[in-house]
């Protein structure tokens, strides 16, 4: 989508502001890489305990998204998933099988 000449991001990390973008919500990340890695790790650990009240399995992909900002191996996997998703959605929307 274009808004004021800019492409809107609906999911991911905005590299300019270091914010997680989830639709219309934006969540700021710490400036320190150590704190970002700590937050990402805690989100994943909390997600593993998602069967408990308050915690949820949604925390695992969010934690991986936060970690992908600083860890190249996770970043590569996230990019491959994004490319696969875009190709898959392209074939689904075009009506091709």
Residue 30 counted as domain residue = yes
- Give dist(CA 64, CA 4) in Å, integer: 31
Residue 17 counted as domain residue = yes
Q: What confidence score (pLDDT) does residue 2 get?
A: 44
Q: What confidence score (pLDDT) does residue 8 get?
A: 56
Chain segment 59-89, per-residue pLDDT in tens: 898 899 899 888 999 999 988 988 888 888 8
Residue 97 counted as domain residue = no
Residue 67 counted as domain residue = yes
Residue 12 counted as domain residue = yes
Range of the domain at 63: 2-92
Can you give the pTM of this predicted structure?
0.70
Do the bridges between strand 6-7 and strand 11-14 make them parallel or antiparallel, or are there none, so unpaired?
unpaired
- Give dist(CA 2, CA 91) in Å, integer: 22
Residue 86 or residue 3, greater confidence: 86
Ordered strands of the 11-14 beta sheet: 11-14, 19-22, 25-28
Mean pLDDT of 53-63: 87
Chain segment 6-49, per-residue pLDDT in tens: 555 567 778 788 788 877 888 888 888 999 999 999 999 999 99
Residue 56 counted as domain residue = yes
> Per the structure, how many domains does the chain have?
1
């Amino acid at each position: 989508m274009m808004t004021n000449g800019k492409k809107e991001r609906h999911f991911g990390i905005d590299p300019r502001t270091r914010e997680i973008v989830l639709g219309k919500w934006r969540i700021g990340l710490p400036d320190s890489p150590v704190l970002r890695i700590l937050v990402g790790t805690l989100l994943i650990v909390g997600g593993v305990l998602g069967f408990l009240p308050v915690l949820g399995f949604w925390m695992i992909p969010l934690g991986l998204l936060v970690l992908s900002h600083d860890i190249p191996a996770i970043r590569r996997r996230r990019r491959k998933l994004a490319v696969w998703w875009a190709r898959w959605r392209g074939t689904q929307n075009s009506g091709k099988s």
